[in-house]
């Protein structure tokens, strides 16, 4: 059972804006950075957002992250078919020490 809670699925039509939530607690999201990973079908996960809202080079600015208290969100604007993937949030958990992932959200582009 994941300590970070994500909705199992999300969907949108091309061009739309979708958000994916990630809920945690004071020992993880509340006191540490949040990271987001994108996993395209059949591939390894890829870093999408780091330190709550920073994009690695090469990640389009359509992707944005935010954090408030013990929750975080990933927003994707101008949805495209190639955004169809699983998205995972992650954070360090102080108790017990270790990295925890959300259960993942499968994004479908209708």
Which window, 12-20, 28-36, 62-70, 75-83, contacts another protein (CB under 8 A)? Answer: 28-36
Q: Does 84 bind another protein (CB under 8 A)?
A: no
Please list the alpha-helical segments (H only) found in the chain. Answer: none
Q: Does 24 bind another protein (CB under 8 A)?
A: no
Interface mask toward another protein for 38-77; x: CB under 8 A: -----xxxxx--xx----x---------------------
DSSP label at residue 59 = S
Cβ neighbourhood burial of 46 (10 Å; 0-12, 13-18, 19+): middle
Instruction: State which of residues 3, 62, 75, 101 lies at the interface with another protein (CB under 8 A).
Output: 101
* Residue closest to 82 by CA, chosen among 56, 60, 53: 60
């Amino acid at each position: 059972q994941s300590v970070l809670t994500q909705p199992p699925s999300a969907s949108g039509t091309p061009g739309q804006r979708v958000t994916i939530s990630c809920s945690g607690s004071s020992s993880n999201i509340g006191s540490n950075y949040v990271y987001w990973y994108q996993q395209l079908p059949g591939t390894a996960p890829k870093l999408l957002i780091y330190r709550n809202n920073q994009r690695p080079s090469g990640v389009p600015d359509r992707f944005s992250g935010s954090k408030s208290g013990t929750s975080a969100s990933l927003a994707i604007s101008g949805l495209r078919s190639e955004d169809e993937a699983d998205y995972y949030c992650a954070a360090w958990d102080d108790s017990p020490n270790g990295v925890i992932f959300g259960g993942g959200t499968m994004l479908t582009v209708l």
